[in-house]
Amino acid sequence: MLRADDHRDDVLIEVAELHRRLATADAPVVLDVRWALGDPNGAEHYREGHIPGAVYVDLDTELAGPHAPGTGRHPLPDLAKFQADVRRWGVTRRGGVVVYDNSGGLAAARAWWLLRWTGVTDVRILDGGLAAWAEAGHFQATGEARPRPAGDIVLEPGQLPTLTADEAAELARTGSLVDARAGERYRGEIEPIDPRAGHIPGAVSLPTAANLDGQRFLATAALRERFAGLRGPVGVYCGSGVTAAHEIAALAIAGVDAALYPGSWSEWSSDPERPAETGADPSGPPRGTAMPADRQPH
């Protein structure tokens, strides 16, 4: 029988373990990924206080490519540029990576997903982020961190599944397509950012924010219960592919594999040929075939 935290330890790291590992010869590379919609001052927040040795990562320019017509607001970055950035952060073929933010992992999960997608297997999210580090009484550095020696990592994309718009539409009919945005955006009551309100027809609403208790991920058992109604293959989207990565991390903790639709609603809603559905969640469980027993949350 699997221990309740088997998958959790693959995704998350606790402050005590990170603090211990930072004092060892095989200390992980630590990435500070503070970012939020409407707050362009992540680098300033980093300079005001960060985990010692952490490298600041800009989500808009390093964890996403430039916006282009027909893509979402945060398209996947160019692989050559991303590899150069990852090497500049100091990531090597042998070392681990820890990512954190100050928003419950909602931004850091984008770095977690991209690194996993490109073949970096030892990468974890700091549960509780910088707030948990501060609550434990650990020192925070200020200003700019000393540059790390360049890494030698060779990235190999495609190590996690992704969906195109057509594949997302099909999955909503044959499996479970999860909309990770706030419920009012899913229902089409408001749309503050993207061209149209609503959701992909057939998608089910499971807002990312409900993965958290404060700034920490819910207990594994609670996450398994949260996702227990999903059937068949699972895909996730949000507004631009950022907070959907947090949902994929929560699903991974629960023992469920999920594909990311990187373009998400920002891409879908910009195409007038694609339908938009409004209203509350579909009644009953999502449509689709039953999830195989060995992949069901339990």
Q: Please list the active-site residues.
A: 238
Tokens at residue 272, please?
């007038």
Answer yes or no: are the C-beta atoms of 291 and 230 closer than 8 Å.
Answer: yes
Backbone phi, psi, residue 263, to 5°:
-70, -35
* 3-state percent breakdown (helix, strand, coil) of the chain, nearest 5: 30, 15, 55
Q: Which residues contact 121 (CB under 8 A, 6 or more apart)?
A: none
For 42, counting Cβ atoms within 10 Å of its Cβ (0-12 exposed, 13-18 middle, 19+ buried), the class is: buried
Tokens at residue 62, please?
């390093």
Per-residue exposure over 207-237, b if at least 16 CB sit within 10 Å of its own CB, e if not: bbebbbeebbbbebeebbebbeebbbbbbbb
Q: How far is CA 265 from CA 74, 148, 215, 234, in A?
A: 11, 37, 25, 17
